[in-house]
A and B are shown apart, each in its own frame.
Chain A
């Protein structure tokens, strides 16, 4: 009787780990963690925007279009519920991506415009904000790369042999990476490098 129970426990343990159930769990958790980091860094950027816009406004209020574009993009980003569940909904995921890349574009346009305001460029507050934005963009790139790696690992488990059966049994599905459409953006973070002036021509 006791032997039967312990043998059964042993077999269950063997089967579960033999069909990569554990790997599935740990890679899934890894995705959640790295996705949380992506959201975290995007949030950090969104939090920087109002300050940045206000500082620029103080020196270059006439650049209305660009400033409005940033504010617009920022509110769009804010309008999307950035929940961890986003990764399970491809539609919402791509919408989120679109909004974020729109903000990236608007921000880089804003920084391009600031090039022609020497006073603004030498303002300490603006320089600090710019450094923070630069750092945040870099963090976003790193977080996205780590997310992509985590998804790749997970998807490999879900789609290759013993794992796919387990995944089917427990209802695990492949997760979206940052698709091919925006691969260009992934490899190159929005240019906010101000060391070399006018490196981004019109």
Chain B
């Protein structure tokens, strides 16, 4: 009816929209800049405040590494100047989600976070240890063991005493023993790929007997491609598997050497590095633990 006013209203709306987006962007940028970054994980003990002496760090490191190799649980210590503007709980969660201390599936990791200038600390407990280190127990360790020592400025001994208490609690919990090689043994895409191919050779052999060479290979290829799609949920992977399975079956079954080839593949040992070069095992956290101030 009144196109002019309609247009102006629309323009105003658009302008509002623009302002809103700009505001959001500005907020987002300032937000990103303000947050304290999670430091890279190199060892069990990370002190970014230069409070602990090299000796203290080394002895803590040794103790935690020994504890990990006997019990399997991974404990990380991080000391930073401040977590501002975030609360220590939020920052601790981000560190725990990035570092992932604890073994995958067992979730037996603990993070001791100390924000020195905020005079705040937090014990973040992995899912698997929430029974051993209850929130109340974590709070007591903080209030009765750690903070009294921190108040006197004894950071090294405070951390050590606190960790000993944590380790005693963990030892009371029946956890699976550590593996000789602490490696993530979940099947990777490559493992899947190889086992699918080996399986395809067997299946292809059988199907070829019933359907003939070309059709047998074709059905095997499509079937295996479908299986691969289900497992890896990626179409590319599925197509690759299907084509490889089809070609292998079509041509390789002509010569009897394939079974040996198959055994050669499956005999490959695939180790992945544990802690040392990379990171922790992949433990999950749900926000359990306690915080305190001194």
Contacts and interface: CB of A to CB of B under 8 A. Distances in A.
A17 B215 contact: no
B198 to A, nearest CB: 21
A180 interface: no
SS class, residues of chain A in contact with chain B:
helix
Q: Which of A2, A6, A22, A141 has the most CB of B within 10 A?
A: A6
A6 B136 contact: no
A10 interface: yes
Interface stretch (A51-59, A92-100, A130-138): A130-138
A interface residue count range (under 10 / 10 to 19 / 20 to 34 / 35 or more):
20 to 34
B226 A9 contact: yes
B211 A132 contact: no
Contact of B225 (A10, A26, A128, A139): A10
Nearest to B92: A138
Contacts, number: 81
A10 B286 contact: no
A132 B134 contact: yes
B294 to A, nearest CB: 8
Nearest to A136: B135
Contacts of B219: 2, 6
Interface in B236-283: 238, 242
A153 to B, nearest CB: 15
A139 B136 contact: no
A18 interface: yes
Interface string A4-48: 001101100110011000100010000000000100000000000
Interface of A: 2-3, 6-7, 9-10, 13-14, 17-18, 22, 26, 37, 127-132, 134-136, 138-143, 189, 193, 195-196
Given A22-B233, A134-B290, 9 more contacts: A6-B218, A131-B139, A134-B139, A135-B288, A139-B286, A141-B287, A143-B286, A193-B291, A195-B291
